[in-house]
């Protein structure tokens, strides 16, 4: 068995996520308390007791998902379950970088708080939207977006086989959805997002993030491989990791290629660590042979322990 870890990004959050872990496991509580001490506010209270509107603010969402992901990672490690290859979708890449010690826990917590704040506060003026396009090849989606006349729209997330998310001005996204349905898309679904994430429109947020990244240390890449969002290839010690992380905000996420490269490296078991089951769905659509687990709740976690440690 060769295990890979994958970490979810924004959109997987829900009020109460991680509470069952927090109440049962002391090591989980310690991670939440450690993050709260660094940030100066109670991350557990934000995650378990806030309302959906508060939790879904980008500056809150990103830190809450990160801390839950890191807490469950610690719990897996304490049960002897580790991976030598990991990746994350957008925000989730930071969980992978912290797990692999390329970024320290403290620096990771601080930089993700800033990342979420910049992505929320530096949104350009306008009415923005994203949509998931199902059942159409990538090239058709790319070419169709170029034909849109009502504004800016581009592919932003290459999620899995048969699913790409597009992002841009609302009218342009709606026009693209119609054109893509005419081109043969099975479905085109508007997503609940507040900005043109992973496009050039977040240039200001990217620049501010790059400045903030200068304040943290990047450690040497070890034998724990992390696959990058921007090209699905492993980080190396020759990479300008701070530059890559800043560019990450304005470039498409290549998650489909990440899954393919992870499986091609010999991974036969993938664990999605954090809230939700979205990435598990992406893995299944890309490769039906690989074994996939999620950690959305304690029941799902205990299944991992029972099956992997048996």
Who contacts 155 (Cβ-Cβ below 8 Å, separation ≥6)?
138, 141, 142, 145, 164, 165, 166, 167, 252
90 is catalytic: yes
Residue 194 CA, distance from chain mean position: 16
Kindly compute the dihedral angle of the four CA atoms of residues 7, 10, 14, 18, in this order, to the nearest 10 degrees.
30
Which 3 state secondary structure label does DSSP give 183?
coil
Q: Give the 3-state secondary structure of 186-222.
A: CEEEEECCCCCCCCHHHHHHHHHHHHHHCCCCCCCCC
Catalytic site residue from 95, 100, 129, 198: 198
Half-sphere exposure of 234 (CA within 13 A, CB side): 16
Q: Is the dihedral of CA 260, 261, 264, 267 positive or negative?
A: negative
Residue from 86, 90, 129, 206 carrying the catalytic annotation: 90
Q: Are 46 and 54 in contact (CB under 8 A)?
A: yes
First to last CA, the chain: 12
Concerning whether 198 is annotated as a catalytic residue, the answer is yes
Q: Is 290 exposed, middle or buried (0-12, 13-18, 19+ CB in 10 A)?
A: middle
Q: Give the Cβ contact number of residue 168 at 10 Å.
A: 26
CA distances from 223 to 7, 236, 259, 302 (A): 19, 10, 19, 28
Active site residues: 90, 198
């Amino acid at each position: 068995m060769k295990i890979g870890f994958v970490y979810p990004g924004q959109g997987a959050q829900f009020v109460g996520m991680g509470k069952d872990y927090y109440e049962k496991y002391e090591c989980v509580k310690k991670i939440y308390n450690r993050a709260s001490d660094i940030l100066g506010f109670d991350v557990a209270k934000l995650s378990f007791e806030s309302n959906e509107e508060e939790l879904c603010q980008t500056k809150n969402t990103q830190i809450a998902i990160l801390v839950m992901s890191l807490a469950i990672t610690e719990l897996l490690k304490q049960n002897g379950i580790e991976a030598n290859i990991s990746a994350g979708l957008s925000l989730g890449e930071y969980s992978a970088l912290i797990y692999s010690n390329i970024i320290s826990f403290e620096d990771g917590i601080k930089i993700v708080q800033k990342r979420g704040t910049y992505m929320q506060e530096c949104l350009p003026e306008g009415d923005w939207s994203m949509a998931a396009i199902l059942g159409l090849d990538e090239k058709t989606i790319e070419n169709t977006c170029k034909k849109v006349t009502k504004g800016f729209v581009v592919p932003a997330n290459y999620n899995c086989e048969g699913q790409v998310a597009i992002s841009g001005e609302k009218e342009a996204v709606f026009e693209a959805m119609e054109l893509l349905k005419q081109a043969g898309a099975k479905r085109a679904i508007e997503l609940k997002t507040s900005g043109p994430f992973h496009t050039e429109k977040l240039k200001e947020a990217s620049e501010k993030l790059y400045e903030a990244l200068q304040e943290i240390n990047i450690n040497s890449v070890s034998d724990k491989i992390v696959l990058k969002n921007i090209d699905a290839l492993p980080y190396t010690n020759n990479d300008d990791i701070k530059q890559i992380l800043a560019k990450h905000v304005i470039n498409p996420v290549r998650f489909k290629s990440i899954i393919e490269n992870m499986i091609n490296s010999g991974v036969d078991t993938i664990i999605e660590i954090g809230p939700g089951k979205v990435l598990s769905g992406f893995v299944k659509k890309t490769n039906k042979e690989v074994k996939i687990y999620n950690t959305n709740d304690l029941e799902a976690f205990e299944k991992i322990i029972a099956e992997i440690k048996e």
